[in-house]
Amino acid sequence: KTLNPALAEWERVYNHIRPHQALQWRTPAEYLRDCHPEIAPDLQLSHM
């Protein structure tokens, strides 16, 4: 029961908060928004 919320939080941090060197210090969400808007045109980062 406690594993799912912990994994969801890890995924949120990994994709929306933690910058990645391989993505020029952007988060995966920022990279997707900036470099591939056709894939994620409605990506919102307002929950940060």
- Could you report the per-residue pLDDT of 8-30, keeping only the tens digit for each? 999 999 999 999 999 999 999 99
**Closest Cα to residue 17, out of 32, 6, 27, 5?**
27
CB–CB of 33/43 below 8 Å? yes
| DSSP code of residue 24 | T
Q: Once rounded to an integer, what is the mean pLDDT over residues 35-46?
A: 70
Q: Where are the domains of the chain?
A: 1-48
* The two three-digit tokens of residue 37, written as one number: 């808007």
What's the first-to-final CA gap in the chain, in angstroms?
A: 25
Cα-to-chain-centroid distance, residue 21: 14
The pLDDT, as a whole number, for residue 25 is 98
**Dist CA 24 CA 8 (whole Å):** 24
